[in-house]
Structure 1
Amino acid sequence: MKKKSVMLVLILALSSVLTACGSYKFEPEMNIEVQDFSVTNQKNEQVSLDTFKGKPWLAMFIFTNCNTICPPMTFNMTEVQKALQDEGVEDYQIVAFSIDPEVDKPDVLTNYLKSYSVPDASKWQLLTGYDQKFIEQFAMKSFNSHVKNDPNSDQVIHMGSYYLVNADGIVVKDYSGNTEVPVETIVADMKALTK
């Protein structure tokens, strides 16, 4: 019994030392400068790239009429936000670019966000106020992300990734946002970038 107790104390002490040493080191995997933009958010306010500079942000591409991956991506992002809150990470934004801006007006985006259990809506920026051609080119140039209207339906073809943008407006990493979302890694990366 004593031997087990001593082992448990040693294991706990070792894990404390490793945690204290900050064994996690953030490694950027991408280096893409986000192009400047001036758009409208769900509150009908003008925002630009400068609005987000100075703190890291998580970006994604969604649309409110999506009948495939957008609902799970949005739900998964609320789970990421809960985990960020649990770890005390405060200084960040979540930025969702609508890829169907003709339909996704500010009030539509506001109602869309209300349909999810968002831990802190003040951190969310759902963006619109541009045309389809702009968002398709912007997604490719700024995030290396494919966005394309489906000519045979009301759907938009797009990727299911989250993108981590640093405080300088550089995309440094991407993650799956649809299935097997690496929540712990995202939180660790955000913590590293907010220090």
Structure 2
Amino acid sequence: MISWREVYTLLRRKWIILVGYLVISSLLTACGSYKFKPEMSIDVQDFSFTNQNNEQVNLDSFKGKPWLAMFIFTNCNSICPPMTYNMTDVQKSLEDEGVKDYQIVAFSVDPEVDTPEVLKNYLKTYSVVDDSKWQLLTGYKQVYIEQFARKSFNSLVKNDPNSDQVVHMSSFYLVNADGVVVKDYDGTTDVPVETIVADMKALSKN
């Protein structure tokens, strides 16, 4: 029969091994051993839009750095406010982790209402740690953003003929430094902030 002393010694040894494993895993993660695995591969179509500062922005503006994209509109009475709020949380975590070379890009799905001034005022209603990283884009027709979202992000955008609302998806999209959509995440209720930050850190090193 195994004595209590032997059981204690065995459990203590396993605990030491487990702690050692966790420490090593943390060190490996800190040293950049995290391997990003793309889940999508869609080329973003070239574009030239207007941001909230009334500046022209195109696809080349983001080349060489990863960026997070989403589709929103300022009159949205459902998913857009939590999406925008959640994206501010993502940015806070990126800044806390020392990730600096990135952009956050929000395509308006209601471009006739969302002028640059309207978009700029919309962003001011949120606690944004660095608004220079945000590009809220407009300056195109409704039909254009519908096809652009579909072809560039495999994302649905559609006018609701019975209201002033626009149907669109609630995902955050990760675009790599070459302008390719490589992953998407839930942007509303179950946002994987830690995963997004880890993915952004991994891509920013490439």
Larger Rg: 2
Distance in 2 of aligned mates of 1:146 and 1:12: 42
Give the equivalent residue in structure 1 for 2:91: 81
Give the corresponding residue for 2:138: 128
Q: How far apart, in 2, do the equivalents of 1:8 and 1:144 lie?
A: 43
Runs of 4+ with deviation above 6 angstroms: 5-9
* Structure 2 counterpart SS, 1:190: helix
Q: How far off its partner does 1:13 sit? A: 3.9
Provide the residue aligned with 2:121 in structure 1: 111
TM-score when normalising by structure 2: 0.88
- Number of aligned residue pairs: 194
Report the CA distance between 1:23 and its aligned residue.
Answer: 4.2
Identity of aligned residues (%): 78
Q: Which is further off, 5-14 or 106-115? A: 5-14
Q: Which consecutive unaligned segments of at least 5 residues does structure 2 have?
A: 1-11
Shift of 1:14: 2.8
3-state SS of 2:147 partner: helix
> Partner of 1:143 in structure 2?
153
What is the CA–CA distance in structure 1 between the aligned matches of 2:146 and 2:45, rounded to whole Å? 13
Give, in angstroms, the shift of residue 15 of structure 1: 3.7
Q: Indicate whether 1:95 and 2:133 are aligned.
A: no
Aligned to 1:60, what secondary structure does the other structure show? Answer: strand
Question: Aligned AA for 1:34?
Answer: V
Query: What's the counterpart of residue 14 of structure 1?
Result: 24
Q: Which amino acid aligns with 1:27?
A: K
Q: CA deviation at 1:19?
A: 2.6
Find 1:187's aligned residue among 193, 197, 205.
197
Cα deviations by residue, 1:55-92 (Å, 9 ceiling, x for unpaired):
11000000000000000000000000000011100000
Other-structure match for 2:71: 61
d(CA) in 2 for partners of 1:102, 1:170: 27
State the superposition RMSD in angstroms. 1.9
Q: Distance in 1 between matches of 2:37 and 2:16?
A: 36
Does residue 175 of the first structure (1) align with residue 185 of the second (2)? yes
